[in-house]
Structure 1
Amino acid sequence: MDKKRILVVDDEADLREILQFNLESEGYFVATAPSAEQALKMLPEEYDLILLDVMMDGMSGFKMAEKMRKDLHNATPVIFLTAKDTENDMLTGFSIGGDDYISKPFSIKEVSARVKAVLKRTGSPESKKTIIDVGEMHIDQSMKCVSVNDRIIPITKKEFEILNMLAQAPGRIFSREDILNKVWNDDSYVLERTVDVHITRLRKKLGDQGKHIINRSGYGYCIEL
């Protein structure tokens, strides 16, 4: 079984060494970075998890996580390490795609338990974080959001589900009935016309990228790359 790869990002050398030593003792491959700037340069490498300090000189851990998610479309799980433990900070961490939050000072036992829990949760096939690219659109299935040219598009849950359904099988035509069954399940009060209305709104929100949603008259809708 391949070793899980962990990247530790912290500007305290002692802490980096302690975390690296203990995590390697548990069988992980561990790389370290002294700054967010250095860590971002290492991200073409694939990691299963990032332990990320929030308060660092230069770029903060929150800013790095935000850049990872929005600019690099990197969905690697992140556990924030921080001396700040207010509810506000926790909400900030989770809102930008953090998977867990550990307050300093912490015990190595606690870090180990959190690392195992996040790896188990994010390592299962159904929770693999994936991004589908369609033209300039990025459909983030884990964060349930869509961006165009790095700008988040405010779409509804139903609109996201329709777009995601089409994008998972480019070129395949889905009838209005297919879309109703998948997105609205067994709601018999929803009419096929509802699909047309949602797709019209979706195209408008996507602007130029709405051109990828094609209407095959008499058949239904599909995504063309």
Structure 2
Amino acid sequence: MEENYKILIVDDEKDLCEILQFNLESEGFNIDIANSGEEALEKPLEEYQLILLDVMMEGLSGYKVANIIRKDRKLQVPIIFLTAKIDENDILTGFNVGADDYISKPFSIKEVVARIKAILKRGLKADEESKKVVYKELKIDFKKKATTIEGEPVNLTRKEYEILSLLMKNMGQYISRDEILKRIWKDDVIVTERNVDVNIARLRKKIGDYASNIKGKSGYGYCFS
């Protein structure tokens, strides 16, 4: 699976970058390094399949870099934050700016490799889907991993896209927050049901007139109808 996958490591700790590069290249990944947020933004970000991004850096923080990648560049490349900041507010901030995962320092290389493979595997599985789901002018193309309203693209993060896909595939059925966590975040350990609510709130804002179709019900979860 690792063949031809390009990963960008963004961290101002050069020694850590070298260790990650050596071990990830040993797994078959193609690795590039940026030692600052500014340097990362000069890279051809659309060419990477995943970005490992440190939160605390001089100059642009990892949060700001992720925000630029998602909002300005409109890229859905998976982002894993590497950070020593592990309280709930920091984690929620990371997910709010579009993180796909969070790994706290110090970490084991095996953990990093496992999480990278898990995210890439999910992306590969999504790529294999060819079905489209449509509700009026809201359309999800699973093959292209694209969401459109009246033919215009909707800029969703990977988690927002996966939540909307899950709800629209199961139209009319309530899915509990716990089930959404298990289906979307799977083996991630630093997530709570609050993450589901935050992503749903962001998703509603982005789909405009269709926001009211995502219904929440205490004790039941969420439903698209």
Q: TM-score per shorter chain, which class?
A: 0.5 to 0.7
Give, as a single letter, the amino acid of the residue that structure 2 aligns with 1:82.
Answer: T
Q: State whether residues 204 and 210 of structure 2, in contact with CA within 8 Å, keep that contact through their aligned partners in structure 1.
A: no
Q: State whether residues 53 and 79 of structure 2, in contact with CA within 8 Å, keep that contact through their aligned partners in structure 1.
A: yes
After TM superposition, what 4+ stretches of structure 1 lie above 2 angstroms from structure 2?
Answer: 126-135, 140-145, 152-158
Count of residues paired in the alignment:
157
Greater CA radius of gyration, 1 or 2? 1
Alpha-carbon distance in 2 for matches of 1:108, 1:155: 36
* TM-score between the two structures when normalised by the length of structure 2: 0.61
Alpha-carbon distance in 2 for matches of 1:23, 1:65: 22
Give, as a single letter, the amino acid of the residue that structure 2 aligns with 1:115.
Answer: I
SS at match of 2:93: helix
1:120 maps to 2:121? yes
Alpha-carbon distance in 2 for matches of 1:140, 1:21: 34
Q: How much does 1:132 deviate?
A: 5.0
Of 210, 213, 216, the residue aligned with 1:159 is 210
Q: How much does 1:91 deviate?
A: 0.8
Percent of aligned positions with the same letter in both sequences? 53
Q: How much does 1:121 deviate?
A: 1.5
Alpha-carbon distance in 1 for matches of 2:7, 2:147: 21
SS at match of 2:89: helix
Unaligned runs of 5+ in 1: 146-151, 163-182, 185-225
Q: Which residue of 2 aligns with 1:130?
A: 146
Give, as a single letter, the amino acid of the residue that structure 2 aligns with 1:37.
Answer: E
CA RMSD, 1 decimal: 2.9
Alpha-carbon distance in 2 for matches of 1:49, 1:26: 15
CA distance 1:79–1:129, change in 2 (3 Å): farther
Q: Which residue of 2 aligns with 1:88?
A: 89
Q: State whether residues 75 and 130 of structure 1, in contact with CA within 8 Å, keep that contact through their aligned partners in structure 2.
A: no
Q: How much does 1:123 deviate?
A: 2.5
1:61 maps to 2:62? yes
Q: State whether residues 46 and 77 of structure 2, in contact with CA within 8 Å, keep that contact through their aligned partners in structure 1.
A: no
Alpha-carbon distance in 2 for matches of 1:132, 1:33: 33
SS at match of 2:81: strand
CA distance 1:133–1:102, change in 2 (3 Å): same
Q: State whether residues 48 and 76 of structure 1, in contact with CA within 8 Å, keep that contact through their aligned partners in structure 2.
A: yes
Q: State whether residues 8 and 51 of structure 2, in contact with CA within 8 Å, keep that contact through their aligned partners in structure 1.
A: yes
Unaligned runs of 5+ in 2: 130-141, 165-202, 214-223
Q: State whether residues 84 and 104 of structure 2, in contact with CA within 8 Å, keep that contact through their aligned partners in structure 1.
A: yes
Q: How much does 1:88 deviate?
A: 0.9
* TM-score between the two structures when normalised by the length of structure 1: 0.61
